[in-house]
A and B are shown apart, each in its own frame.
Chain A
Amino acid sequence: MFSSTRHPQEAVQTADIETEQPMVRFNSIMKAFGDQVVLNELDLEVGSGEKVALIGPSGSGKTTILRMLMTLERPDAGTIYVDGDPLWHMERNGTTVPADERHLRQMRTKIGMVFQQFNLFPHMTVLRNIAEAPIRVLGIPRAEAEERARHLLDQVGLAGKADYRPSQLSGGQQQRVAIARAIAMRPKVMLFDEVTSALDPELVAEVHAVLRDLATETGMTMLLVTHEMNFARDIADRVLMFDQGRIIESGPPERIFTHPENDRTKSFLRAVLEAT
């Protein structure tokens, strides 16, 4: 359902899959909060168009990884590359210096994020939530931005809700609006941080369905943090198992979920399965 609106830009992106350059690369990333080291020399690559599920116990650093990519959290050391360019650094007069706001703004156009708590703007209509950034950031004329927003709403199954306030929607509907809002900016990389864990169980499926369509019908690179193993199995090309800020196991979902090699992966999967 998303393919019908694929923008020329997105078509190019799909072609990128063939190329060698990863869309996201973490090079020796360090991150600590106070004296608690959360990520230590993390290396990570995500190919263009690849869908990667990040799983692992609470506190293992999954959210921190996404937040650093969204420029909400700055790494202490190491380099993150997005689409070939350093995210938190830039070149000036031949030397590498910390990124300024202009560089960050430039890089952010490539990245979008959907949050666990939706974070919709409560004082705006659903339509406005989606159209605001395309108007203000991309400079798209209002009428066109709103038309695109309506189209996206249609695609996430909320065609009739354009003029509602977020508070008038169910959690599942709000999260689908948040997804539409993020893809309205046409990012190359989309980040999803446990986007269904704040939802009542009966609302999870509708959000998963939207994400599944997004995964199969667009060339977007996707990083998804999730505790729902069936969903990860469905959607991901690759699963990364995190523990204490390190990737302890990685591979295609069929293998990780059926023949995990690491003992901690085994016990983590057992615990998650028991909980659901």
Chain B
Amino acid sequence: MNVWDWNFAASIIPSLLDGLLVTLEATALGSLLAFVLGLMLALLRYSPLFVVSKAAWGFIEVVRSTPLLVQLYIWFFLLAQWGITLGSMTAGVLGLGVHYATYTAEVYRAGIDAVPRGQWEAARALNLPRGRTWVGIVLPQAIPRMIPALGNYVVSMFKETPLLLTIGVLDILGQARGAGAEAYRFIEPYTLAGILFLALSYPSSILIRRLERRVLQH
């Protein structure tokens, strides 16, 4: 038996690509949730109400200090025990999105803090309403500086999607494992799965690094 069987490798590519689509879907939806929820968390941390900002802080700390895997179990198994049954993809996206929201929240916060105080003061002097100051003045200056860091989190989320396997999402790795189990050959499926991850995350990282350099130049 060959160490590497080309025919077998070619035969499993379609199912790996199916898995890739699932991985990309989970990453995309998870990122979207992480971006939106993270922004909300960051804004809550700036709330003038102490209780609100403290609660947001507490939530961020707790979610960050517990493993993603545990959170996935909570979304999928624990909620089901309480009568809230989520599909494995839904639970996976919620798990990824909420977990990474606590990281993007910090990215937003750092980006917002980097906007000079004079910008806030000019907005106040012009009597711009609070919401307008956020949307029109602060965020447009803060977001470009955040993009590279946010991009890095998307890449790490992408690389962590195989964890969703544990709650039954058939991502790249899930498909590879399935194909391998059927044929009792694991070298090709796992190698190809690894290559797929590498082929996507490495160029993305390079792209982000370029972006970072461009943002820093400004």
Contacts and interface: CB of A to CB of B under 8 A. Distances in A.
Interface in A108-125: 108-109, 111-113, 115, 117, 119-123
A105 B125 CA distance: 10
A132 interface: yes
A156 interface: no
Nearest to A133: B126
B49 to A, nearest CB: 14
A72 interface: yes
A105 to B, nearest CB: 6
A115 B121 contact: yes
A208 to B, nearest CB: 21
Interface string A59-77: 0000000000011100000
A119 B126 CA distance: 11
Contacts of B110: none
Give the interface size class of chain B: 10 to 19
A123 B128 contact: no
A136 B136 contact: yes
Interface residues of A, number: 23
A72 B125 contact: yes
A136 B119 contact: no
A64 to B, nearest CB: 14
B141 A133 contact: no
B58 interface: no
Contacts of A113: 125
A109 B124 contact: no
Given A117-B118, A121-B119, A133 B140 contact: no
B69 interface: no
B124 A71 contact: yes
B127 A181 contact: no
Given A108-B127, A185-B127, A136 B121 contact: no
Interface string B147-158: 000000000000
Nearest to B137: A121
A89 B128 CA distance: 20
Nearest to B119: A119
A184 to B, nearest CB: 9
A137 B137 CA distance: 14
13 contacts: A105-B129, A108-B124, A111-B125, A112-B125, A115-B121, A115-B122, A119-B122, A123-B141, A133-B128, A136-B136, A181-B126, A182-B125, A185-B126
